[in-house]
Structure 1
């Protein structure tokens, strides 16, 4: 897990990205040494390197995370703050740029001054007064960024816009370390897990997760291939726990108002299998209905333990569970996952499941959440259940949510109407 815990706010770091690769070490009394050491490191890095695949910028085009010097886009020179839309993390150490694969610009080289950088970071100097920052950046921004106090969160500007309730999301009192086997959950354990239903059926056909008071995140194939004739026939059930009972959680059914699949979803290979459902009215949060947190950009989850929840079948071809289940599963290295399949596993996927089989998400869990608990005990959705082969025989394939954050923000910000 990556925590950019610096006195310098993330927005300032991105404005400084043209001048340096900033280490993720904690800023403390040794500010200058960290800055100077980072400068020395930058002199020996191979700027032509490409790292993990990502979706670049507001248009979500294919790209790879690269050192900032290798991807100074023209829009950054016009407005440095646009770099915020492209941030990624390199090797869990450096702030980088998610660079479009079709970018062919030169590698920019410059000198910089640690005292100048620290002055900007502390809010004591505006970028326009700094002489040694990259050309094209210094002349654009003519005012200092707001100063952040020590210990203040650095990532809210990108990761917790007003539509995502960062203070209440992902809280359920459960600890990941105590979930050691697949089992029925308790009634209010996973208040963000929702069921997608047809109006004439008792059970769900897909799952999803509530991300704010008006929007649900799910899989694209769940909203495109559900057999329903109109959007309003799609029913989102919130607060459900046991489909065989009607009084244990006071669930609520809300018809969908709109659906939005990721525009480059492929029905042939299920690439970009992610979608949003807008509810026809706002939900009121309670003990059984609450949003999950969204992940941070650039995080890696390989070799971590995640939790998948849903009402899927308990075995391949078996009966569905009436009760919401929870299953702890390890997240695989993508290279190891690809060895298990003849089908394409994309860089935007996650794979998770028991290494010896037997633990996996199953049929009817499509669109449901793969969850990871952060160090602050809040749960975040890191994956959306997409597809798999049988159940538990190979890892399940998920869409990695933090590759789609900009698209989610742009499309789920309307909580009115």
Structure 2
């Protein structure tokens, strides 16, 4: 590993990370031993290039996908790896009449896993050290539906475990962009997926979405899906990632699976927490680690 040639860069897990720009945009003088440009987020080493109506994801296709599990219930929600010790998920995953949901000690994070089995063979697992819900989260409107989870110890990046890029506040995900939602949620509103599912969904204009949802879509929310139905996130995918391939051929976290009416229904697209609205909060809470 040749190291970083500029003092504005730092190295993490054998990769160079631009600590000035969280998106790693414009990193030009930071290389690994093979002279391949690496900036530390949004890459899929295994892929060079249920979700209802989706398909099985290949190993390493979505290396930032996390399964949040509880001993009592198994897989409960999804999450996204954004740094070696930080995950992003949905606040509603930790709000329930059962107080155990808000207790960090009850949760474990599984990373690098594709097939949901009891052994979770090969997965990196970490207990959760603490759960930070957004202070303005409203469980009745699902506004500000975001949570940060700090792992008890850092996870090591590999071909199967990588962080996704967190967008800058100025980043815009254009209406009509093809993005991907992933998770182990139910496939048919009743059947839980055993293999990680992926589905291509399009970003939908918020005004269009608000007409379908009677103005329930706030400025902190983002809609994506297929207005004809057939493709969507579903229960169990909650908290998981909506990612888009952006400039520089890196994957960025556009949304967090939040809510919707049913799953994959006509004119009922999925509604996601819009991550760009929370970039500053994420940086503040993680003290710049994300």
TM-score (norm 1): 0.57
Corresponding residue for 1:315? Answer: 188
Change (3 A) 1:245 1:258: closer
Q: Is 1:392 matched with 2:276?
A: no
Secondary structure, counterpart of 1:260 in structure 2 = strand
- Conservation of the 8 A alpha-carbon contact between 1:175 and 1:377: no
Cα distance in 1 for partners of 2:95, 2:215 equals 21
- Coordinate RMSD, CA, aligned: 2.2
Cα distance in 2 for partners of 1:231, 1:403 equals 25
Secondary structure, counterpart of 1:404 in structure 2 = helix
Shift of 1:268: 1.3
Shift of 1:159: 2.9
Shift of 1:342: 2.8
Aligned counterpart in structure 1 of residue 62 of structure 2, from 190, 211, 216: 190
Cα distance in 2 for partners of 1:194, 1:347 equals 26
- Conservation of the 8 A alpha-carbon contact between 1:244 and 1:322: yes
Change (3 A) 1:156 1:333: farther
Shift of 1:306: 0.8
Shift of 1:312: 0.7
* Deviation readout 1:181-237 (Å, 9 max, x if unpaired): 7210111111110011112333x1110000001110000111233835332111111
TM-score (norm 2): 0.80
Corresponding residue for 2:286? Answer: 412
* Deviation readout 1:300-344 (Å, 9 max, x if unpaired): 32111110000011112x211010011000110001101111361
- Conservation of the 8 A alpha-carbon contact between 1:382 and 1:400: yes
Change (3 A) 1:390 1:194: same
Corresponding residue for 2:115? Answer: 242
Q: State the aligned residue count.
A: 251
Q: Is 1:213 matched with 2:87?
A: no
Unaligned runs of 5+ in 2: 1-7, 9-17, 25-37
In proportion to residue count, which structure has more helix? 1
Corresponding residue for 1:259? Answer: 131
Change (3 A) 1:221 1:191: same
Secondary structure, counterpart of 1:268 in structure 2 = coil
Q: Is 1:403 matched with 2:277?
A: yes
Unaligned runs of 5+ in 1: 1-145, 147-154
Shift of 1:288: 1.4
Corresponding residue for 2:29? Answer: none
Shift of 1:253: 2.1
Shift of 1:296: 2.4
Change (3 A) 1:347 1:247: closer
In proportion to residue count, which structure has more strand? 2
Cα distance in 2 for partners of 1:228, 1:413 equals 28
Cα distance in 2 for partners of 1:297, 1:172 equals 24
Change (3 A) 1:228 1:287: farther
Corresponding residue for 2:237? Answer: 365
Corresponding residue for 2:30? Answer: none
Q: Is 1:383 matched with 2:255?
A: yes
Equivalence map 1:331-370=2 (5 Å):
331-342=203-214, 344-370=216-242
Corresponding residue for 2:98? Answer: 227
- Conservation of the 8 A alpha-carbon contact between 2:44 and 2:162: no
Equivalence map 1:107-256=2 (5 Å):
157-160=20-23, 167-172=39-44, 174=47, 182-202=54-74, 204-225=75-96, 227=98, 229=100, 230-244=103-117, 246=119, 250-256=122-128
Cα distance in 1 for partners of 2:172, 2:157 equals 30
Secondary structure, counterpart of 2:126 in structure 1 = strand
